[in-house]
Amino acid sequence: MLLVSGHCLILLLLLSCVDAGQVLRKIKERVRDLQLQKVKQHLLTRQPLQHVKEGRIHQPLNHFNRQDVGTFPQRFFVNDAYWQQPDGPVFLFIGGEGPIFKFDVLAGHHVDMAEKHQALLVALEHRFYGDSINPDGLKTENLADLSSQQALADLAVFHQYISQTFNLTLRNTWISFGGSYSGSLSAWFRGKYPHLVYGAVASSAPVKAKLDFSAYSNTVGLSLTNEAVGGSEKCLAAVRGAFSAVEVALMGGNISQLALNFGCCQVPKDLDDQIELIGSLADIFMGAVQYNEEGVFMSIKELCGVMTNNGSTYEGEMESYNRLVELAQIYRSTSKEPCLDISHEKTVKDLMDTSLHSGRRTARQWTYQTCTEFGFYQTCEDTTCPFSGMLTLQVDTKLCPMLFGISQHSLPARIAFTNAYYGGDNPHTHRILYVNGGIDPWKELSVVRDRTEEGQEAQIIFIEDTAHCADMMSRRFTDRWSLKEARQEIENHVATWLKTAAQEMKEKRRPLALPAVRSGSEEEHPDTDRLACKQSSQAHKLLETRTLVSTPVQAVMYTLAWTVVRGLAVTFSSLSPYAARTASPSSQKAKGRFSVGTEKPERDAHQAEARRCRKPLLPFSRVAGLDRTRPRQDWIRRILTSRIPGTEGREQSSLN
């Protein structure tokens, strides 16, 4: 199993996670680029790259409308380096709101487990992201087919494609993996297609849609006070003071000086630009908390070190303001941005770009999904928010009608549908492992508490003091002990699932013969034994209807009734051979003599036969209900044709 020192191996797709402002998106892209460089340098000399194949599968644009015959090419990667047995497992890595890379089947904790279990590795890119773009472009009418439901259907078709390509059978157990939005897809794929995927690992998965996600900013504030990861109360106080000073400067008219201090590309010309500035500064803190990655962008410890000047006392708003200015300079330096772009007009223009080349930027597609399915708007209207109250829900949602013509008033109903469809953060599902970090803001929308459904406990792992999708990385020497234990627990769950699946398959392949108790001279034969027990069960039903005769008066009444019924049945059978085969169920009572006491020896014999077949007898209190049950047609034939000369041949011909 691959063990990596330092920071050279970090799972790439964890960065394809849900975000808000453009600075946070740029932080994500910056971290992704750094990770790509480090992963490439490390893996090119160690991993069997020749086993990785890239392909395209033509998927329907709309799986749920057979009249729509349009398709789009969907990219995937396959790594069969570890797949040694034809019945080995398949590990499916699900793409999120961004492109996938070949390293998604070469690096990460799921790859480590694939090597251990000799699994086939496959990764599928999300529709309309990366290279899997709608060929008609990204106009609003073309984005109508962009949804999580369609993405799950893509996975189902891809499952069938891989199964046919590699001649997979039911013996090949599928396990799905994903982080953040793709972690939600992993859980939902297991929930909606349980016959295709046996188990799912959902890391930092926001399975609950939320329109006003104010808890995100609140959790960022709490994480900044977490001393275990380098935070402090002083750090949070400094952040609050800095943003208060920025608001004062904006209201006081010192906008030009503010733009100069923070290195803005232009002076904010209206309220929208001012909100862009506030949002960009808040994104720096959100990115640091969400990823908390030293050496890649900035950890909480490094950020709080700047904001407090490594001191122990709060120095006031103006000093905090100066620390925020310094932090913005560090961001521009690490992101290689010459200036801080705060133009709201440019942001909207980029989001309105519907050309194919814009697909890799992902912002338009993800904004569409937030408007139609998820919300996830990271507002700051709550009093506990450490940033500015200018970041409101109204500001975030106004892009929906502006970009896509989606009414802001329709958003609550759309969010409610998503939660009703998937179950929110209380899904009644089985064999889904939810993994979350203690300082990750997205844990507020995931499953972090035990829940039961029909006795099944929700499988959760909660890792204190870790960030977003941290468990998806391969092992590193610098990992916290809690993170190491969590990865081991994930491995234990996956191993248990594979073992259980193999055992279930073995049991399904066993012969279904029932055990029999026979004398030493009798030869046991499974087929004969099953037939005998089947006939015994049928005889049991017939016998119990006969035990209804318990008095001489009832015997006379049944005899008279039977004489009439039998005469009608014989007459009807002579007119129609088929009718004889489908005579009244009451004819079942005719077979045998209805005399008092004759049923006891037969019942004793049947009780012994039932014990041999291991089938319990029904209590006599329920026999009357059996009398109204339609018997099997072969028993009707035998009753109607018993002791009626000349009917044997006629009955046989009706079956031909």
Collapsing DSSP states into helix, strand and coil, what is residue 219? Answer: helix
For the record, the structure tokens of 603 come out as 């019942």
Short-list 369, 405, 418, 335, CA closest to 129 = 369
Distance of CA 45 to the CA centre of its chain: 34
Residue 614: exposed, middle, or buried by beta-carbon count in 10 A (0-12, 13-18, 19+)? exposed
Name, in order, each residue with C-beta under 8 angstroms of 42's C-beta and a sequence gap of 6 or more.
Answer: 4, 8, 9
Instruction: Assess contact for 210 and 411: CB atoms under 8 A.
Output: no
CA dihedral 553, 555, 559, 562 (to 10 degrees): 110
Collapsing DSSP states into helix, strand and coil, what is residue 628? Answer: coil
Give the whole-angstrom CA distance, residue 459 versus residue 463. 13
Instruction: Assess contact for 464 and 482: CB atoms under 8 A.
Output: yes
For the record, the structure tokens of 624 come out as 């009357």
Give the whole-angstrom CA distance, residue 130 versus residue 56. 13
Per-residue H/E/C for 58-115:
EEECCCCCCCCCCEEEEEEEEECCCCCCCCCCEEEEECCCCCCCHHHHCCCHHHHHHH
Give the whole-angstrom CA distance, residue 1 versus residue 315. 49
Residue 95: exposed, middle, or buried by beta-carbon count in 10 A (0-12, 13-18, 19+)? buried
What is the residue type of 164? Q
Short-list 547, 530, 523, CA closest to 604 = 547
Instruction: Assess contact for 292 and 463: CB atoms under 8 A.
Output: no
Give the whole-angstrom CA distance, residue 5 versus residue 8. 7
Q: Please identify which residue in the block is written with the tokens 């106080």.
A: 237
Would strands 52-60 and 71-79 be described as parallel, antiparallel, or unpaired? antiparallel
Give the whole-angstrom CA distance, residue 255 versus residue 267. 7
User: What are the residue numbers of the active site?
Assistant: 180, 440, 468
DSSP 429-478: -SSEEEEEETT-GGGGGS--S--EETTEEPEEEEETT--TTGGGSPPBTT
Give the whole-angstrom CA distance, residue 212 versus residue 377. 5
For the record, the structure tokens of 201 come out as 């690992």
DSSP 516: -
Residue 2: exposed, middle, or buried by beta-carbon count in 10 A (0-12, 13-18, 19+)? middle
Instruction: Assess contact for 207 and 427: CB atoms under 8 A.
Output: yes
Collapsing DSSP states into helix, strand and coil, what is residue 9? Answer: coil
For the record, the structure tokens of 425 come out as 């953060």
Q: Which H or E element spans position 201?
A: strand 199-203
